[in-house]
Amino acid sequence: MTARRTDTLGRPPLVLLVPAGLAAALLVLPLVSLVLDTPWATFLDRLGSREVGEALRLTAVASGATVVACLVLGTPLAWLLARVDFRGRAVLRAAVTVPLVLPPVVAGVALVTAMGRTGLLGPLLREGGVSLPYTTPAVVIAHTFVSMPFYVLSVEGAMRSAGERYDVVAATLGASRWTMFRRVTLPLAMPGVLAGAVLAWARSLGEFGATITFAGNYPGTTQTMPSLIYTTLQGDPEVARTLSMILLVASVAILAALRNRWLTTP
Amino acid sequence: MADHAVSGLDARVHVAGRLDATVTAEPGQVVAVIGPNGAGKTTLLRALAGLTGLSGSVTVAGDSWTEPPRLVRDRQVGYVFQDQSLFPHLTALANVAFGPRARGIRRRDADATAQAWLDRLGVGELSGRRPGELSGGQAQRVAIARALATEPALLLLDEPFAGLDVGVATALRIELARHLADYPGVALLVTHDAIDALTLADRVVVLDGGRVAQEGTPQEVAARPRTDHVARLVGLNVLREGDVLRSFSPRAVTVSLHRPEGSARHRWRGVVLSAAPHGDAVRLLVSGEHELLADVTPAAAGELGLAPGREVWLSVKETAVQAYAAT
């Protein structure tokens, strides 16, 4: 690091340098030690074990299904919030944001309360012969619950910033609202859709609290990677480190995919 | 009234606090809408297109668009927006084909129609380009093609030459005149430029403060303007004396440094606000009891030292003044 522009304003003071260094150490040190302590010699063997394979598969299925649920259900919700003026829109938007700040365990309890055997929708589900808790669909529901807000807010923001101007043009050309959505609103919001989908996928990948509360921790049906890491950490920390390394690599890959969007300084 | 109510445009547009105007036109007519900023020109177009709510009635080609109210998409308007508003993610061809496709025409046929319109507007070879890759003049041609491709019953053009280079605007004006001559419906053209009204329009509607201040052929309006705005646009001085308007050309004004002889009614004292070349003359804007335009030769401008701030006397011969009723 050679002298940069800031040097002409004076040397950075210690009162700022010391806490900045501590903060950086706190963020970087655990990740470095994880990389160093990962048992690389047995890495591939552990990756091949049945337990890990099932957890990986389930995580892939759940996060994939979550992204699909966001695209199919979240996009119309984002459009509704961005384009339709109705009573209670502000309240609905606030409600959609709540899962962002809700502790995941609380989210799990809320899901049990709504869709558990004795929950609000319990009798309805029972009549249809459906039992959700402790099943793979429950995992997907929990993941979608915590991931959808990221997606909806990203897409709604993109739709708002694209503006209603082009919708108006489409209307003068004879377009129905559906045509307008399909051919104008959605294509113009596509960067937000992609960013939202990646965010939702990342959130789903690490989801633990809501899932273990609502869906449990059964190998093969509800045990995702984070649940397996939690389980193995007690008995076999080496396996836990291997699995953690896999998720770390996945997270860094997401960051790399998004770097043009958020990591470039202006 | 009965005639154009059946086949042309008959609009009584009232937008609370902004516009209260009646506009009628025969099919095939081009109506120029002129007036100062904030006069309600764009509001009129938006209300006709259904983008702004109105009370009153709009009848186009025999169909009422207000009884019952029609959705924007069901009004057959072609709207050329001030900033073109081409869809940025679609090619020129897809922009023009958008209207026909939205109205249920198959993709292949819509594309053929779009290509034909782009060819007619002279931008056929640019059909594969996105709006970001078009110049201002090219984008405006695509926007006009897009509006015409739906074969609208009412064509609304909001300052189609604004923001274009003078040369580009002139070329486009000549071409637009040709397309408007072929166009069977009613066209409304909002403009800031007297040239547009004089060269493109059959009739002129002058809006001022949300009301129709004057209506007539371009020649009538240019010869006997009733508002200061139009007088400035066509380069005439207009003075109001009760119910009588008196207009005279800036060329008929004599400029001197001393109080001239003659009737007090035809001489004014004032200060030069600006002096700019105008053709082979220098046009002065002089502010006193009235704001008046006066043309002098460059030689005279130099001799008399007619720079901004100079105090001068203006006078005009009675024979050069045209008097007419204000309403």
Domain of B317: which CATH number? 2.40.50.100
Please determine, for residue B3, whether its predicted confidence score (pLDDT) is greater than 70.
no
CA distance A261 to chain B (A): 19
Phi/psi of residue B308, nearest 5 degrees: -50, 135
Question: Two tokens at A144?
Answer: 């979608």
- The CA distance from B116 to B121, in Å, is 9
Residues B277 and B318 in one domain: yes
Range of the domain at B317: 236-325
Mean pLDDT on B192-215: 87
The proportion of chain B whose per-residue pLDDT surpasses 90, expressed as a percent, equals: 40
* Helix, strand, coil distribution of chain A in percent, nearest 5: 80, 0, 20
Mean pLDDT in consecutive groups of 10 residues from the start of chain A, 266 residues? 64 92 94 84 77 84 93 95 91 91 89 80 76 83 92 94 90 94 94 90 87 84 86 82 84 75 49
pLDDT at res. A4: 59
Residues B201 and B241 in one domain: no
- The CA distance from B45 to B210, in Å, is 13
Interface test with B, best of A159, A164, A169, A173 (most B CBs within 10 A): A173
For residues B18 and B39, the answer to whether their CB atoms sit within 8 Å is no
Residues B112 and B192 in one domain: yes
Does A187 contact B72 at a Cβ distance shorter than 8 Å? no
**Number of domains observed in the structure of chain B:** 2
Phi/psi of residue A202, nearest 5 degrees: -65, -40
For the whole model, what pTM was predicted?
0.80
The label of the residue with tokens 């260094």 reads A21
Pick from A174, A179, A184: CB nearest B87:
A184
Strand partners, B66: B69
pLDDT at res. A120: 79
- Cβ within 8 Å of residue B194, ≥6 positions away: B34, B222, B230, B233, B234, B235
ipTM tops 0.90: no
Domain-embedded: residue A258 = no
B132 interaction partners in chain A (CB closer than 8 Å): none
Please name the helix (run of DSSP H) or strand (run of DSSP E) that holds residue B11, with its range, or none. Answer: strand B9-15
Does A172 contact B71 at a Cβ distance shorter than 8 Å? no
Domain-embedded: residue A110 = yes
Range of the domain at A114: 63-222
Question: Two tokens at B88?
Answer: 């940025």
- The CA distance from B64 to A235, in Å, is 79
- Cβ within 8 Å of residue B192, ≥6 positions away: B34, B159, B162, B233
Confidence band, pLDDT 50/70/90 cuts, at residue B1: very low
For residues A191 and A110, the answer to whether their CB atoms sit within 8 Å is no
**Alpha helical stretches, state H, B62-212:** 92-102, 107-120, 136-148, 166-182, 194-200
Summary mean pLDDT of chain B: 88
pLDDT at res. A25: 95
Question: Two tokens at B122?
Answer: 């002279």
Render B201-224 in DSSP notation, one character per residue. Answer: -SEEEEEETTEEEEEE-HHHHHHS
Does B102 contact A176 at a Cβ distance shorter than 8 Å? yes
pLDDT at res. B4: 40
Does B150 contact A183 at a Cβ distance shorter than 8 Å? no
Write out pLDDT tens, residues B179-189.
998 899 999 99
CA distance B132 to chain A (A): 14
Mean pLDDT on B268-296: 89
Residues B34 and B139 in one domain: yes
Mean pLDDT on B84-106: 94
Pick from A165, A176, A183: CB nearest B85:
A165
Confidence band, pLDDT 50/70/90 cuts, at residue B288: confident
Interface test with A, best of B72, B80, B81 (most A CBs within 10 A): B72
Write out pLDDT tens, residues B204-225.
999 888 889 889 988 888 888 8
- Cβ within 8 Å of residue B294, ≥6 positions away: B250, B253, B255, B283, B284, B286, B314
A175 interaction partners in chain B (CB closer than 8 Å): 73, 98, 102
**Number of domains observed in the structure of chain A:** 1
Does A168 contact B71 at a Cβ distance shorter than 8 Å? no
pLDDT at res. A266: 41
Tell me which of B186, B205, B228 is where a domain ends: B228
Interface of A with B (CB under 8 A): 165-166, 168-176, 179, 183-184, 187-188
**Alpha helical stretches, state H, chain B:** 2-7, 41-49, 92-102, 107-120, 136-148, 166-182, 194-200, 218-223, 228-234, 298-304
- The CA distance from B218 to B101, in Å, is 38
